[in-house]
């Protein structure tokens, strides 16, 4: 506040070296969210501090860092003065250096903040549930995208992917796994009752369904099921000829309730394989066991550039699939779309 008692201005102009500029409401937004709301193709992936894709250099001005220890920055990045746009709030006008890809395809939908009311919760497994939020009419997203949730009493935001298709009477569904001692997921499971309101912000994410003719392979690890269901539903809703090969990786027989979510989609255009990584010896299981990426060898014709690949789940699964698709099978980058649940 200044001597006259005026509140400091919150709308700050961010100039990107070599071209574009945008404004950020620092009371509401990080630098990344301001850029995306302005329609700028600012580089990002997770938007929650885990991946490092949104690194930038501050040339002029001042920013507040929200999460100083965010794993998206290495010690080398910090030594070089790099920052994360998803963890930086401008304190005034700034000038920054970042490689904004002018040729990047625009997703066409800018993220917006809204109040979501928890309309229902449905348990799928002992530690996974579907949370359905009612959002304002017209709020859209593409199959495979995610939203960030501001959960009461939780520091930072949490990213969760929509499992349905947009337009379902203003409902955004999320399949969430309870992480033991996880602050965000336990708040959702234990302290967010039906009828509670939560701030949702979205849509975000590049791993959304693209139009095309090639068959689609979806690989879901655990709660990666959510966005992969959305992608599969998107393909089936197109009504074209392309088919979906759906691979779901779970741990034990206790998780098999999640498989029922795909069962309703299985038909002439979708076939599904469930793989257990640690089947329990005392319980029946005659399906494949091991890592879910290894099951892709069962694809008709093997792993090849005949398909487009979508995957979501824990980082080790994502890395194994990148290795398999990019290095071993030489599938072009444009046919591979994924979200790492960092
Ligand atoms: C793109 C994307 C999509 C995802 N989709 C899903 C989904 O559909 N279903 C699902 O179950 N999970 C999903 N996740 C994982 C989810 O966002 C959470 O990481 C997970 O639920 C664990 O959160 P937690 O709060 O329970 O655990 P915690 O251990 O309490 O928190 C883990 C996460 O919180 C954030 N965080 C931690 N500390 C701070 C801090 N001080 N400041 C700011 N941020 C902090 C980080 O992102 C960290 O990875 C997704 C993740 C990403 C990146
Ligand atoms: S987008 Fe900022 S760290 Fe992932």
- pTM equals 0.95
Of the ligands numbered here, which is closest to the C-alpha atom of 43?
2
Q: What is the pLDDT of residue 264?
A: 94
pLDDT at 9 over 80: no
When pLDDT is averaged across residues 281-303 and rounded to a whole number, the result is 92
Cα dihedral angle (305, 326, 104, 172), rounded to 10 degrees?
Answer: 80
H/E stretch holding 63: strand 63-65
Strand partners, 245: 217, 271
Name the residue of 34, 45, 69 whose CB sits within 8 Å of the most ligand 2 atoms, as the mutation to test its pocket.
45
pLDDT at 2 over 50: no
Q: What is the pLDDT of residue 338?
A: 97
C-beta of 160 in contact with ligand 1 (< 6 A): yes
Contact 168, 237 (CB under 8 A): no
Measured from the Cβ of residue 231, the count of other Cβ atoms closer than 10 Å reads 31
User: Computed from CA positions of residues 48, 50, 55, 59, in that sequence, does the dihedral angle turn out positive or negative?
Assistant: positive
Residue nearest to atom 3 of ligand 2 (CA): 49
C-beta of 183 in contact with ligand 1 (< 6 A): yes
Interval 22-74: pLDDT, tens: 999 988 899 999 999 999 999 999 999 999 999 999 999 999 999 999 999 99
User: What average pLDDT is seen over the chain?
Assistant: 94
Q: Please work out, in degrees rounded to the nearest 5, the angle formed at the alpha carbon of residue 73 by the alpha carbons of 67 and 75.
A: 110
C-beta of 182 in contact with ligand 1 (< 6 A): yes
* CA gap 3, 187 in Å, rounded: 42
C-beta of 341 in contact with ligand 1 (< 6 A): yes
Interval 220-258: pLDDT, tens: 999 999 999 999 999 999 988 999 999 999 999 999 999
Nearest to 54 by CA among 63, 92, 152: 63
Complete domains list, the chain, with CATH = 11-97 (3.10.20.30), 112-204 (2.40.30.10), 215-340 (3.40.50.80)
- Ligand 2 atom nearest the C-alpha of 70 is 3
Q: What is the pLDDT of residue 107?
A: 55
* CA gap 255, 253 in Å, rounded: 5
C-beta of 179 in contact with ligand 1 (< 6 A): yes
Interval 91-129: pLDDT, tens: 999 999 998 875 555 556 899 999 999 999 999 999 999
């Amino acid at each position: 506040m200044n001597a006259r008692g005026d509140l400091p201005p919150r709308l700050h102009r961010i100039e990107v070296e070599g071209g574009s500029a945008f404004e950020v409401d620092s009371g509401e937004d990080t630098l990344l969210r301001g850029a995306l709301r302005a329609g700028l193709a600012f580089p990002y992936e997770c938007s929650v501090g885990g991946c490092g894709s949104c690194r930038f250099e501050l040339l002029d001005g001042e920013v507040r860092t929200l999460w100083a220890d965010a794993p998206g920055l290495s010690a080398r990045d910090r030594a070089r003065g790099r920052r994360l746009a998803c963890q930086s709030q401008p304190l005034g006008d700034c000038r920054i250096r970042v490689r904004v890809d002018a040729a990047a395809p625009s997703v066409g939908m800018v993220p917006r903040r809204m109040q979501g009311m928890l309309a229902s919760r449905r348990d799928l497994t002992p530690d996974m549930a579907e949370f359905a939020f009612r959002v304002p009419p017209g709020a859209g997203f593409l199959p495979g995208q995610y939203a960030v949730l501001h959960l009461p009493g939780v520091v930072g935001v949490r990213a969760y992917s929509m499992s349905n298709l947009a337009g379902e009477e203003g409902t955004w569904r999320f399949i969430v796994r309870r992480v033991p001692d996880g602050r965000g997921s336990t708040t959702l499971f234990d302290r967010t009752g039906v009828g509670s309101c939560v701030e949702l912000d979205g849509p975000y994410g590049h791993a959304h369904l693209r139009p095309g003719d090639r068959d689609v392979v979806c690989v879901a690890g655990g709660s990666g099921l959510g966005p992969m269901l959305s992608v599969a539903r998107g393909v089936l809703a197109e009504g074209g000829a392309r088919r979906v090969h759906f691979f779901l990786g779970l741990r034990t027989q206790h998780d098999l309730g999640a498989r029922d979510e795909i069962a309703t989609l299985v038909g002439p255009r979708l076939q599904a394989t469930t793989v257990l990584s640690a089947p329990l010896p005392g319980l029946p299981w005659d399906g494949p066991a091991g890592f879910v990426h290894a099951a892709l060898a069962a694809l008709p014709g093997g792993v090849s550039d005949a398909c487009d690949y979508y995957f979501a789940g824990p980082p080790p699964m994502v890395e194994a699939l990148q290795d398999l698709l990019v290095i071993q099978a030489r599938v072009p980058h444009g046919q591979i779309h994924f979200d790492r649940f960092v």
